[in-house]
Amino acid sequence: MYALIALPLLIMLMGLGLPVAWSFAGVLAYLTWVYDANLNTLMLQGFRSLNSVVLVALPLFILTGYLMQSGGIAQRIIAFVSRIATGRGGMGTAMVLSSSVFGAISGTATAAIASIGSIMTDPLAERGYPRGRIAALLGISSLLGILIPPSITMILFAVVTRQSVAACFAATIGPAIILIIGLILYNRFLVGRAFDETAQTEAPEESFGRVTFKALPALSLPLIILGGIYGGIFTPTEAAAVAAVAALVVGGVIYREFTWGSLGRSVVSAAETTGSIILILLFSFMISRILSFERIPQDMTEAIQSVISNPIAALLMVNLVLIVAGALMDDVSVTVVIAPLFLPLVVANGVDPVHYAAIVATSVVIGANSPPVAPTLFLSCKICRVPILQAVMPAIGLMGFVALPVMLLTTFWPDLSLMIPRLLDLM
């Protein structure tokens, strides 16, 4: 009974403006008090859970994202993709594909929004795209960083649920491909109906060959990272180190856009982001220990199964809870708190934990862009310099016609997410 108050308390503390990490600390203090838990033991267990080689990848991938922003890598990727994404809806297609490539290197949504949004917003607006639609498309497509490996969200999911990181990475590739195709087709459908995209009048300053040549070092990064992981050359943690070093070399030696100031700011920003996530993880591990000791997940599973006996209805309820949680909290909070809570329930209904990783990821894509909080959509609107109200309806259209069908396909078609892990012999 006391545990039921924990989630509303967490949401209330966040709503009051308390930093996310300290909101988790408040929930931990509450649970420690009501269940009379030994804080010394919890702290020791929390630190032991953090003592994981897998988590070393976290700061390195975050640093890679910041290095891409300041090293000119994002600009070269966008310039190349914009030249190949021609025809109807070409500029929107370029945004989606740029987000895909960016996600395949950094694994974060916020870095993609900041980099791609700041570069592409004005050119899209000049071509006739309403800024509200730009923000909505940016918000959805930036979350491809959660689906396309390497994904920080999937690293966290693997750690808190004790699954293979490589298997969780591979599980989201299928849904990511479907989402990319859906976003491109939906954008092409809207051009000429919801708005008009004007043709580019000015001739490109550089030839396609020169743009391609400049982009090759940046485009080689995802091939090195993913090829190394699934080719058995290095582990995901080693891949994170390779990605950071490669981004540093490409941005500093090849593109020569790093300054000591920009490099220092990237390192400091990555350290701040990592510190916040590690605190959240520490408190969530301690909260999970209390909930597990009190058998809260097992009791919740039994209670839900006593009311909902149909596995389809149970999975739809999990989807709904994940979407609502994603609309109220950031993806890290949903992944480390809500997702593990429902793991016993989905396993009891015949869902593989690796399949569940893809379900969580596709649900977060919808939740992060859903009012009232909509953390990703709000950030997109800030970057695109547009009021949130102008982006809400376009975002609802993208979620209803693209993201929601992808989530349902992922939930009820297990092979979409399990086929690639099985082909790579990760399960």
Residue 204: its pLDDT value, please? Answer: 60
pLDDT of residue 370: 83
Rounded to 5 degrees, what angle do the CA atoms 16, 19, 20 make? 100
C-alpha span between 298 and 347 (Å, rounded): 11
Tell me the C-alpha distance between 35 and 53, whole Å.
32
Q: Which two tokens stand for residue 237?
A: 């943690």
Structure tokens at 294: 């009190």
Rounded to whole angstroms, how far apart are CA atoms 266 and 230?
28
What are 359's two structure tokens? 């379900």
Tell me the pTM: 0.84
Report domain extents, the chain: 2-423
Spatial separation of the C-alpha atoms in residues 81 and 76, rounded to whole Å: 9
Q: Which residue has the tokens 């890290």?
A: 332
**195 three-class SS:** strand
C-alpha–C-alpha distance, residues 28 and 302, integer Å = 24
Burial of 124 (0-12, 13-18, 19+ CB in 10 A): buried
Q: What distances in angstroms separate CA 312 from CA 315, 350, 368, 402, one per listed residue?
A: 5, 11, 24, 21
Tokens representing residue 329 in the block: 């909290």
Task: Measure the CA–CA gap between 383 and 106, rounded to whole angstroms.
Answer: 19
Which amino acid, 228? G
Residue 150 is given by DSSP the state S
* φ/ψ of residue 18, rounded to 5: -70, 140
Residue that the structure tokens 């992060």 belong to = 368
Q: What per-residue confidence (pLDDT) applies to 202?
A: 56
Question: Cβ contacts of residue 56 below 8 Å, gap of 6+?
Answer: 237, 240
Query: In 71-172, which residue ranges form alpha helices assigned H by DSSP?
Result: 73-84, 90-106, 109-126, 131-142, 144-147, 152-161, 165-171
**How far, in Å, are 6, 187, 382, 413 from residue 371 at the CA level?**
22, 22, 15, 28
Name residue, tokens 């070093």: 245
Q: pLDDT at position 356, please?
A: 94
CA distance 157 to 340: 8
Q: Confirm if 419 and 375 have CB atoms less than 8 A apart.
A: no
pLDDT (0 to 100) of residue 418: 94
Q: Please state whether 350 falls in left (phi above 0), alpha (psi between -120 and 50) or beta.
A: left
For the chain (427 residues), the mean pLDDT of every run of 10, in chain order, is 73 78 85 85 83 80 81 82 79 87 76 80 86 91 86 87 89 93 93 78 68 85 82 82 88 84 86 84 82 74 77 89 81 81 87 93 88 79 87 91 94 93 85
